[in-house]
Amino acid sequence: MAEIQCEEPNPYQVALKQLEIVAEKMKLEPDIHEVLKLPKRVLEVAIPVRMDNGRIKVFRGFRVQHHDALGPYKGGIRYHPKVCLDEVRALAMWMSMKCAVVGLPYGGGKGGIICNPKEMSVGEIERLTRRFTSEIMEIIGPYRDVPAPDVYTSGREMAWIFDTYSKAKGYAVPEVVTGKPIEVGGSLGRKEATSRGTVIAVREAAKRTKLDLTKATCAIQGYGNVGYHAALLQRELGSKIVSVSDSRGGIYNSDGLDPKAVKQFKSKNRTVVGYPGSEKITNAELLELDIDVLIPAALEGQILADNAPRIKAKIISEGANGPTTPEADDILYEKGTLLVPDILANAGGVTVSYFEWLQNLTRESWTEETVNNKLEERMVTAFKTVYDVSQREKVHMRTAAYMIAVERIGNAIKLRGLFP
């Protein structure tokens, strides 16, 4: 199949650059650097699906497994018309780093299908999901590779994956996938987990910068599951949500927005744009607002060398994967912006996915309070570890997080050795 080129900045090149910066800083052994640069496995599949009109359409899907030195591969599956292989490679690498930073016994994996689910019926999406599951079934499993939701996928798709895999095995295997609905083995607290981790990161960053969150203003780029729940949780801390956006644009109100009312408007109109009492702005303008807290919760490559000098937020907590380039990282660090990187800030999702996996393996069910308390403990511990390294080594938080992750993965690789 012909290679589909990613939009610039190429996410995989960004991921490799981030790894290179850290390898140089920590004088990483060249052998370990070489191992971490390339994923262990890349699977591309053709997915024929019978559409509602009776015709067969062939979609392209990917599953990339980066490294499993610390445990089974773990990572989401996204449905998006701009999915490309280099994006999935990058996301798999970032998942390896993310799991290592928060101390999870997982390696990184990621999947994607080139499609536009907004233009597909529920039946077409279900047939696509089940067919994709059958195509990648040989390389996934509870102790091999455990998928989860990502962009434009949810518990619904995870339930279909769980069911398809279980039908093939002949018995229920809920632990094959996480992010499922509660009724079929999902975990309480999972839906809000990524957002909760992102906002915990904001709170911990505010403590270090002496920012009073009860008087802070906040903007959120992206108003899907992560952005919406981040808005709710940030508001609980007392912050004023002045701007949110989606793929069609953003809205701004200096007096603040009601997250629930905006969500209801978006559900009805399929966009936040046009929300009563708000001013329309672009996604680019949202990033440059005069605010205290910025939460990028959309796609990669949003904060670049071009716009980083104009970003005024004191704290940035990355709810999305890969929103900031290495060049922008340096500019923000020099400006004194405290940026909490994706591999730490949005690790709440995979952390509670780990809790769901544990519950499924033992056929237990934890209370939401137990889940949230365990998430709080892991996020606070990981934040302190990363922040302390950044202060000691005089590097920004992303480099510090990578240093911790690479050391943990590298040690596991050396201890396990090469076989055969």
Q: Which residues are catalytic?
A: 110
Distance CA 221, CA 243 (A): 8
Distance CA 93, CA 405 (A): 11
AA identity, residue 145: D
Backbone dihedral angles phi then psi of residue 134, each to the nearest 5 degrees: -65, -30
Distance CA 409, CA 415 (A): 10
Residue length, the chain? 420
Going by C-beta distance under 8 Å and a sequence separation of 6 or more, which residues neighbour residue 48? 56, 57, 58, 131
User: Tokens 């519950």 appear where?
Assistant: 359
**Cβ distance 147 to 75 under 8 Å?**
yes
CA distance to 297, 389, 406, per residue, from 244 (Å): 10, 32, 34
DSSP state for residue 324 in the 8-state scheme: B
Render 184-204 in DSSP notation, one character per residue: GTPPTT-TTHHHHHHHHHHHH
Return the half-sphere exposure (C-beta side, CA atoms, 13 A cut-off) of residue 212: 2
Query: Residue 80 pairs with which residues in a beta bridge?
Result: 114
Helix (H, G, I), strand (E, B) or coil at 140: coil
Nearest C-alpha neighbor of 64 from the set 105, 1, 34, 108: 108
